[in-house]
Chains A and B, each alone.
Chain A
Amino acid sequence: MQRFLFRRAVQTVIILAGLSVLMFTLLVVTPGDPVELLAASDPNIQPEDIKGLREYYGLDDPLYLRYKKWLTATVFHGDLGYSRTYGQPVRKLIGDRLKNTVTLLTAAFGIALVLGVIVGIYSALHQYSLSDYTITIFSFAGLAMPVFWQAIVFILLFAVWAPWAQIPALAWLKFPAGGMMTPGVAGGAATIFDRLHHLILPTLVLGTHGMASWARYTRSSMLEVVRQDYVRTARAKGNPERVVVNKHAMRNALIPLITLVALSIPGILNGAVLTETVFSWPGMGLLLFQAVLGHDHAVAMAALLFFALLTISFNILADIAYAIVDPRIRYD
């Protein structure tokens, strides 16, 4: 196991290195120089000013030199650089945004997983019934709708129109149209509630997408397990159906899902970028998008590598978890 971990760690470093070179090159080569944009917005700029700014930001150095500078700063000094657009050290900027994204992702992932698994199990146990077909259609539907589209529809439905919110007792069912918090709300309970209130719509949008995949996977996994001999034996032994399902079938069905956790992380991160953009949720996805478009290379590199690290770590965790759970798997 140790050798396995060591090998994976080495592989991770190689992957991250290769990725960083690729990303850096692409970012730098993209046309749309940030200084030129600056210059275009102010007609009074003189050539000396432009030259000074270019030197200031190191824009005229050759590619490998700029990469080397970035690499040494990041790896050897832990200095992720300075955000040109936000005027803050990247580390601080990412720190704030990270919390927000993690909150959103955890909530969405949680809902997707829990609801998806429940729905999938139900669907499997009632295969080919009307509910199964309905659920199947709904889960597929969740996957077939563009995320940003769903987000906007939800906003219109639940944040602007919300006719049921005319009833005072249901007023809280009208959700905020974007943003993470209402400025000026103070006090423990009120703040928590305010944050939750803002969290609900984006979570629902992201969550319904994830839920669809989880439902499908759970369903097929459950179906496979339920046909196995040991389940038949459990039934033949006279156990009530509930015990058969909970004690025998479900546990075995859920095991393969662990690996799927790793596979679904990139999908959720993708959805997060679009969702955060529509809801103005100040997270990493939105930051990455703006950094790429705004040519803020320091931020973009840091965000991209963060996503990469996250995905790779989850992959490794999934492999480890799988090994723990299934005694037949052994890594050397």
Chain B
Amino acid sequence: MQIGVRIGAVAVCLALVGLTLPATGAPAQRDTLVIGMAQEPDILGEFSIMVAAGVIHNTLWGFIAPYTEKWTRVPQMVEKIPTIKDGDWQLLPNNKMRVTWKLKRGFSWHDDRPVTALDWRFTYGMLRNPQTPQVSRFILRKVDNILVPNPDDPYTLVVQWNELWPFANTSPFGNQIVYPRHILESAYLKDPTKLKAHPYWRAPVATGPYKFVEWVSGSHIMLEAYDKWPLGKPAIKRITFRFILDSTVLQANSIAGTVDGTEVGNFSVDQMVEIEQRNPKVATHYTEALRWERIDFNLDNEWFKDKRIRQAFAYGIDREAIAKALSRGKQPVAHSWLAPRHPAYNPNVKKYPYDVARAKALLAEAGFTPGPDGILRDRSGKRFEVSFMTTAGNSGREQYQVIVKEQLKQVGIDIRIDNRPASVFLGDIAPKRQYPHLAMYTTVFSPETTGFDRFHSSQIPSPQNNWEGNNRVGWRNAEVDKLMDQIIGELDEAKRIALLKRQQEIFAEELPSLPLFFGLSLTTMRKDVRNVKPTGLSGTYLPWNAWQWAFGEQ
């Protein structure tokens, strides 16, 4: 009796409190959009290494010629994209080139100063200087010089290349975004090594449709519309990126509606389906991307040198069934390394349907005989025990491994699963070829990938060449080397595509890696935000066209 009265009293108190409190800041306002991410950037700008920074760059900065959802580039901060036909991309003797860019007027920094070619020239110098902590100078090294030939016309930029590069007309020197000379130059000249410590990188003044407002470390970054954006004033006044590092909690927020959309959520397909089912106000996007998940063989290993053994693995794993089970059929099986949407995709390569008998036959041909415990023995009597490594803590991969282990047991192979933390596996083991037999992970390509660093025999990482190159399987194929040399200097797109298609045929026949599937880019956004166009491309994230977004039904 007494308990009942007490509980009743508590309930009444709670209700009274609820009535008197000010309304909480749940985003019911129509001028703010909240995007949740499972990663927080380290810093913003050029020296960042994290994907999360790239997402915010899409909103903070204008791009020279970004990709659209159609996977073609459109000029944004330039008048047009230079072409050989039009003459603004000139080929000079000795494999040199000269590209002229005409910047579009009307773009300004968020402090209202105009963006000019001088800023671009400054950016090149800053990044080219070996004393700044720039991560990669691969493309920068191909550029000799940046000129602003006419000081009275600071909107024309000339780039002098010292070697052939098929993508010289996608950006002046590999950079889509530009940095402000008037803010950074003095610090840079004073001491380039300390440039990363400049407060600019935590509160950038940029060129895009949204400008920086605040960054509360560990919580969020808030941006506000920049009304002088030449492509149209953004309809949504504020965009906030919230950092929720645990993807289950991010999913919960998505379902509860406390974030409006997500990007870089590290979700699995199952989690996305869950969001879709539980919050009908949210649209889930399964966008085709160029994410290649595969198993690398170690071609230096005595067993995996033999093509028949690699092919046996391909026949012995039912990739179709796994794809259907683990991704509800949404992530297609890969037979080569370029995804269907890539311009050089080759659907006519050799395929390896699930065929246990064929796998066993190939292994028998290669000299394996069944042992007493059902596991094969090789010619010298060694048990066919194979180590299978990948990143620890990734549930999709771990499930894949367990299924593969079961399936290969039928063929007579004993798989030993051996996973490491991501930083160790991706930072040490894979790049230094320290895996004995099998290594599984993802690589993200772009429409401009040539594959040179991955398939040319000069790109095999070794202690002698300081671990340069990404040909981690150790593939040496003379015809592929020749093709790669041609591809990297071939300026004609159609010819390049033909060469790539031929390379993929050889790849599928030789199978230096076993392609598994092409991953999707998974994002979400409220259904009542118009013009959301996910691209699926790395570097062009969900908010790439945020200034075109607006509240209101589609």
Which A residues fall within an 8 A CB radius of B?
31-34, 36-53, 56, 82, 85-89, 93, 96-97, 100, 152, 155-156, 159-160, 167-173, 176-185, 189-190, 193-194, 197, 277-283, 286-287, 293-295
Contacts and interface: CB of A to CB of B under 8 A. Distances in A.
Given A33-B428, A87-B202, A179-B219, A160 B252 contact: yes
A293 B18 contact: no
Given A183-B240, A280-B244, A40 B197 contact: no
Contacts of A87: 42-43, 47, 196-197, 201-202
Contacts of B21: 172, 193
B238 A44 contact: no
Interface residues of B, number: 68
Contacts of B197: 82, 87, 89
A221 to B, nearest CB: 28
Given A33-B428, A37-B423, A179-B244, A184 B222 contact: yes
23 contacts: A34-B423, A36-B427, A39-B467, A41-B49, A42-B49, A42-B136, A45-B468, A46-B141, A49-B134, A51-B466, A96-B218, A169-B15, A172-B24, A178-B244, A183-B25, A183-B219, A184-B25, A184-B222, A190-B22, A193-B21, A279-B249, A282-B217, A294-B423
B47 A280 contact: no
Contact of B430 (A40, A52, A82, A85): A40
Contacts of B136: 42, 44-46, 49
Contacts of B27: 182, 184
Closest 9 CB pairs of A and B: A282-B218, A44-B138, A87-B43, A37-B427, A185-B25, A182-B25, A47-B466, A32-B423, A36-B427
B202 A88 contact: yes
Contacts of B256: 159-160, 177
B137 A177 contact: no
Interface of B: 14-19, 21-27, 32, 34, 42-43, 47, 49, 130, 133-139, 141, 193, 196-197, 201-202, 216-220, 222, 238, 240, 242-246, 248-249, 252-253, 255-256, 258, 421, 423-424, 426-428, 430-431, 453-454, 465-468, 470
B258 A177 contact: yes
A91 B234 CA distance: 38
B470 to A, nearest CB: 5
A198 B29 CA distance: 19
B219 to A, nearest CB: 5
B246 A280 contact: yes
Contacts of B240: 183-184
Given A32-B428, A87-B197, A96 B217 contact: yes
A278 B247 CA distance: 9
Contact of A86 (B18, B217, B253): B217
Contacts of B134: 49
A96 B21 CA distance: 28
Interface centre among B19, B24, B138, B470 (most CB of A within 10 A): B24
Contact of B424 (A32, A39, A181, A283): A32
A51 B428 CA distance: 16
A152 to B, nearest CB: 7
Nearest to B249: A178
Given A155-B249, A160-B252, A31 B424 contact: yes
Given A43-B454, A96-B218, A182-B24, 9 more contacts: A34-B427, A46-B137, A53-B135, A56-B133, A88-B202, A155-B249, A170-B18, A178-B252, A183-B219
Contact of B248 (A39, A46, A152): A152
A170 B15 contact: yes
Contacts of B238: 184
Contacts of A38: 49, 135
A131 B428 CA distance: 57
A261 B43 CA distance: 39
Contact of A277 (B222, B245, B430): B245
A52 B423 contact: no
Contact of B32 (A50, A52, A180, A184): A184
Given A36-B431, A44-B139, A93 B249 contact: no
A40 B193 CA distance: 23
Nearest to A92: B217
A178 B242 CA distance: 10
A278 B24 contact: no
Contact of B43 (A56, A86, A193): A86
Nearest to A178: B249
Nearest to B11: A170
Interface centre among A36, A155, A194, A294 (most CB of B within 10 A): A36
Given A44-B453, A100-B218, A194 B24 contact: yes
Contacts of B423: 32, 34, 37, 293-295
Contact of A85 (B42, B216, B428): B42
Nearest to A290: B245
A170 B14 contact: yes
Contacts of A295: 423
A155 B84 CA distance: 58
A39 B137 CA distance: 12
A38 B379 CA distance: 42
A276 B478 CA distance: 54
B42 A169 contact: no
Given A37-B426, A52-B130, A278 B249 contact: yes
Contact of A32 (B202, B249, B421): B421
B217 A32 contact: no
A173 B424 contact: no
B468 to A, nearest CB: 5
B365 to A, nearest CB: 36
Contacts of A47: 465-468
Contacts of A41: 49, 426
A179 B431 CA distance: 36
Given A32-B427, A87-B201, A173 B18 contact: yes
Contacts of B19: 169
A280 B470 CA distance: 35
A153 B430 CA distance: 37
Contacts of A283: 218
Given A49-B136, A183-B220, A40 B43 contact: no
A234 B350 CA distance: 94
Contacts of B249: 152, 155, 177-178, 278-280
Nearest to B49: A38
A171 B256 CA distance: 13
Nearest to B199: A88
A169 B18 contact: yes
Contact of B34 (A39, A46, A183): A183
Nearest to A39: B431
A193 B24 contact: yes
A54 B220 CA distance: 31
A47 B137 CA distance: 10
A293 B135 contact: no
A200 B400 CA distance: 39
Contacts of B135: 38, 42, 45, 49, 53
Contacts of A96: 217-218
A31 B428 contact: yes
Contacts of B24: 172, 182, 185, 190, 193-194, 197
A80 to B, nearest CB: 14
A50 to B, nearest CB: 7
Contacts of A52: 130
Contacts of B218: 96-97, 100, 180, 280-283, 286-287
Contacts of A167: 15
B434 to A, nearest CB: 10
Contacts of A293: 421, 423
